[in-house]
Structure 1
Amino acid sequence: MGNLVTLPHTEAHLGLNTEVGQYLTFVVAGERLAVPIEVVKEIIELPTITRVPLTPDAIRGVINLRGSVVPVIDLGARLGRSPIVPTRRSCIVLVEVQAVGEAQVLGMLVDEVKNILEIGRDDIKPPPSFGATIRTDFIAAMGRVDEAFVVILEVDHLLSIQELAALRALSGQEADPGIEDGTAGS
């Protein structure tokens, strides 16, 4: 499993005291999306993903990342599109989300990583209240780039461990009681 890019997390990357924010852009189901660079830990080539029984379709499985088990979310399935069919450009974007009051690293399976954009504060607009092809609580903002918009995702909602566990319960599968409180497998 080779690293493509490791992204440092300095004040400059967080956009503190600046008028410009940095966003990693990627493609899922033909749509260009973005996340703030400060939540991105690393981008890795597509490793072997181990499927976990009784998980929702949006949870692709887990990977071994330097000895740690990291859940991988299929963003195609999570966003209500077809699951991602891996290609040579597919990769996993590792992000840090807040889950049960602490930071957790999760992987997002994407079709292709594009680039890092700098978007000025004046070019960040609130998410639409209707007509979006993505659930509005998954959208943090819209970033204007040239004449188009890039959807900036709200990763803490998009990758909510509690919501993913609830999806499993709704699909008729028994949820592991430890999923909600972070004690699974303890």
Structure 2
Amino acid sequence: MADTAQYLTLGIDQELFGIDIRNVREILDMRPISKLPHSPEFLLGMIDVRGTGYPIVDLRAKLGLPRREPDDATRIIILDVPVKGRTLGVGFVADRVFEVTGLDADQTEAAPDVGGRWQSNYIAGIGRKGEAFIVVFDLERLMQSDDIPALDGLSIDRAA
């Protein structure tokens, strides 16, 4: 019997992505985001969730897609993201959130390195759900970049 992992599925542009449910804290409706001066383009600013500040990352910008205005389907996903040996609380903005779905390990393939639309170093694998393909994010690699110093001191360190 194959191991099944649970993923939160979300839409960005016309693509379907998955985030391991173990990293998801909560899903919020879009809300005003306090801008931060001199922040990288992907960092929209900060929000307060019950007294805790979270930096908010625009996944569209992180993936090299053009920005778009939020609509009724836009969500903020609060995540625990492993970064450089620590766990940081970070919010990702997604165009829409669908559901939690299971993907069998034997239905998940390594990301093909074909120079396609997405940088394969952000991708943990490609899962299949029926006829659809789900691009599974590697959150640590997605957040590893020269821009990470911009997040230092902005989010809550969740390390034990």
TM-score under structure 2 normalisation?
0.88
Percentage identity across paired residues of the two chains: 27
Q: In the alignment, is the contact (CA less than 8 A) between 2:63 and 2:118 conserved in 1?
A: yes
Q: Does 1:55 align with 2:35?
A: no
| 1:159 CA drift (Å) | 2.2
Q: In the alignment, is the contact (CA less than 8 A) between 2:40 and 2:150 conserved in 1?
A: no
Paired amino acid for 1:75: L
2:147 is matched with which residue? Answer: 164
The SS at the match of 2:98 is strand
In structure 2, how many angstroms separate the alpha carbons of the residues matched to 1:72 and 1:182? 13
2:29 is matched with which residue? Answer: 45
In structure 1, how many angstroms separate the alpha carbons of the residues matched to 2:74 and 2:152? 29
Q: In the alignment, is the contact (CA less than 8 A) between 1:77 and 1:84 conserved in 2?
A: no
2:104 is matched with which residue? Answer: 120
Aligned pairs (5 A) from 1:65-76: 65-76=49-60
Q: In the alignment, is the contact (CA less than 8 A) between 1:74 and 1:84 conserved in 2?
A: no
Aligned pairs (5 A) from 1:77-92: 77-92=61-76
2:118 is matched with which residue? Answer: 134
Q: Does 1:111 align with 2:85?
A: no
Pair 1:33–1:181, CA change in 2 (3 A) = closer
The SS at the match of 1:128 is coil
Pair 1:182–1:110, CA change in 2 (3 A) = closer
* Larger helix share, 1 or 2: 1
Q: In the alignment, is the contact (CA less than 8 A) between 1:51 and 1:62 conserved in 2?
A: yes
In structure 1, how many angstroms separate the alpha carbons of the residues matched to 2:75 and 2:36? 19
Pair 1:106–1:89, CA change in 2 (3 A) = same
In structure 2, how many angstroms separate the alpha carbons of the residues matched to 1:25 and 1:38? 13
Where does structure 1 differ by over 3 angstroms across 4 or more consecutive aligned residues? 179-184
The SS at the match of 1:163 is coil
Higher relative contact order (CA 8 A, sep 6+): 2
In structure 2, how many angstroms separate the alpha carbons of the residues matched to 1:107 and 1:182? 14
Q: In the alignment, is the contact (CA less than 8 A) between 1:98 and 1:156 conserved in 2?
A: yes
TM-score under structure 1 normalisation?
0.76
Q: 2:77 aligns with which of 93, 98, 106?
A: 93
Task: Note the aligned Cα RMSD (angstroms).
Answer: 2.0
Q: Which runs of 5+ in 2 are unaligned?
A: 155-160
2:157 is matched with which residue? Answer: none
Q: In the alignment, is the contact (CA less than 8 A) between 2:2 and 2:106 conserved in 1?
A: no
